[in-house]
Amino acid sequence: MAARVGLPQQALLASALARSPSPSPARLPYPPLLRLPTYCRFFSASADAGLQNLRRRLPFAARAMSQRSEAAGSPYAAELAAAKKAVSLAARLCQTVQQEIEQSDVQSKADKSPVTVADYGSQILVSLVLNMEVTTGSFSMVAEEDSEDLRKDGAEEILERITDLVNETLAEDASFNILLSQEGILAAIDSGKSEGGPSGRHWVLDPIDGTKGFLRGGQYAIALALLDEGKVVLGVLGCPNLPLSSINNLNGSSSGDQVGALFSATIGCGAEVQSLDGSPPQKISVCSTDNPVNASFFESYEGAHTMHDLTGSIAEKLGVQAPPVRIDSQAKYGALARGDGAIYLRFPYKGYREKIWDHAAGAIVVTEAGGLVTDASGNDLDFSKGRFLDLDTGIIATNKQLMPSLLKAVQEAIKEKDQVPSPL
């Protein structure tokens, strides 16, 4: 049985590892001690236990090998493989929670937005996998959640629920022979407190992008990206409810039976999609239409996330005939990247500050698929300034052929809206 691990046990386990004989590489394919997070230690009691873990891991190991093949020549190949593994594991926990979510699994944050046990559990698993799998350099992660509410009186039940969910997911996967204590759970969540910035490497995570969609049983995404010296160099989007084939209606569903898409992109290597259960990755590209009449556009399902009257005006100026496809989360970026639609529009109400985790992974998936992602003035998005994006008005994405006419329509629509007197 794996030992439950928390901060007070660090020194004890480190000492035990130092005294324990190393298992034979032929029998245990992964080294017993990788670059470890501060809140846990991996410990294999014997070579026999290692062999049993190997047998349980073989299906996943085969999938991981296929995932590494496409970007094998990239300097970020190891990071991409780890990111895919982390997002896939987090998606498994999220699927479990969404199928049986309880009222007690949902809390309200200070800004009145919802947060669930799955948001926390996803962040914990991603942090753990990245720490265990990426063995070079210091670890820095910019993530949405923190443990403040879980440390308050009255949060004991939800903290216990998160702990159980994480440990059950780890046990089912069997890639890591560890359990986390509640203290370890809190520390893992808080590993995402980095401020990011223009120097060094920083992982950027939204553990569940589209929590309201998640609660509705709709679309959501686990969105993970890597910043290197201020530039997004890889991104992974896990979209458990997105059809693996193209979507064809306003709810983002399809007539096909298979759902669960994993999008990935590495700078200079293109973008791919595969099933969350590990099918071979397939190259994707944005649609090539140059006629707005034949285009369709994505926007947020939630009216609070984008001004539907403004996006409607933009579509009218372009001559778009199709109704908007409204789905939650960065699943829109993935769908756009594989050509399900031609345009993505996001125009939040004034005063809203975009966070880097809401766009970093999706933006590189689209750009590596041949598209363009800019603000309303045509400027590239700058992810190097910390946890927020400083940009002009909104975010748009499309192919290179449509971008000039889209920018023109956007700027005209914004100008007209600004000239309309406020009803107040």
Express each pLDDT in 198-249 by its tens digit.
Answer: 999 999 999 999 999 999 999 999 999 999 999 999 999 999 999 998 886 5
Query: How much is the pLDDT for 39?
Result: 62
Residues pairing with 271 in the sheet:
265, 284
Which contacts of 268-274 are long-range, i.e. CB under 8 A and separated by 24 or more positions? 268/74, 268/368, 269/70, 269/71, 269/73, 269/74, 269/368, 270/70, 270/368, 270/369, 271/337, 271/364, 271/365, 271/366, 271/368, 271/369, 272/70, 273/244, 273/334, 273/337, 273/338, 274/67
For residue 137, which phi and psi values (nearest 5 degrees)?
A: 80, 170
* Domain spans, the chain: 4-284, 292-419
- Exposure letters 160-174 (e unless 16+ CB within 10 A, then b): ebbbebbbebbeebe
Would you place residue 71 in the very low, low, confident or very high pLDDT band (cuts 50, 70, 90)? low
Nearest to 91 by CA among 114, 119, 133, 60: 119
Give the 3-state secondary structure of residue 348: coil
Residue 192 has pLDDT above 50, yes or no: yes
* pLDDT in the model for residue 5: 47
Q: Binding-site residues, please?
A: 144, 206, 208-209, 358
User: The pTM is what?
Assistant: 0.84
Residue 326 burial (CB count, 10 A): 21
* Chain segment 280-331, per-residue pLDDT in tens: 999 999 999 999 998 999 998 866 667 889 999 999 999 999 999 999 999 9
State the pLDDT at residue 108.
Answer: 80
Residue 168 has pLDDT above 60, yes or no: yes
Contact 343, 314 (CB under 8 A): no
Q: What CA–CA distance (Å, rounded) separates 319 from 248?
A: 20
Residue 26 pLDDT > 70, yes or no?
Answer: no
Q: Would you say residue 334 has pLDDT above 80?
A: yes
pLDDT band per the 50, 70, 90 thresholds, residue 101 = confident
Are 394 and 345 contacting, i.e. CB atoms less than 8 angstroms apart?
yes
Strand partners, 395: 346, 375
Report how far residue 134's alpha carbon sits from residue 78's, in angstroms, rounded to the nearest whole number: 7
3-state helix, strand, coil in the chain (%, to 5): 40, 20, 40
Give the annotated binding-site residues for Mg(2+). 144, 206, 208-209, 358
Residue range 4-284, CATH number: 3.30.540.10
Look at residue 17 and tell me whether its pLDDT is greater than 60.
no
Is the confidence at residue 173, as pLDDT, over 50?
yes
Beta strands 201-209; 371-375: pairing state: unpaired
Distance CA 164, CA 327 (A): 31
pLDDT at 176: 87
* Rounded Cα distance, 203 and 382, in Å: 15
Averaged pLDDT score across all residues of the chain:
83
Which residues participate in catalysis according to the annotation?
119, 211
State the pLDDT confidence band at 373, using cuts at 50, 70 and 90.
Answer: very high
Three-class DSSP category at 380: strand
In this prediction, residue 63 carries a pLDDT of: 38
Q: Of the ranges 13-22, 266-275, 381-390, which one carries the lowest mean pLDDT score? A: 13-22
Q: What does the pLDDT read at residue 303? A: 62
pLDDT tier for residue 134 given thresholds of 50, 70 and 90: very high
Q: Is CATH 3.40.190.80 correct for 292-419?
A: yes
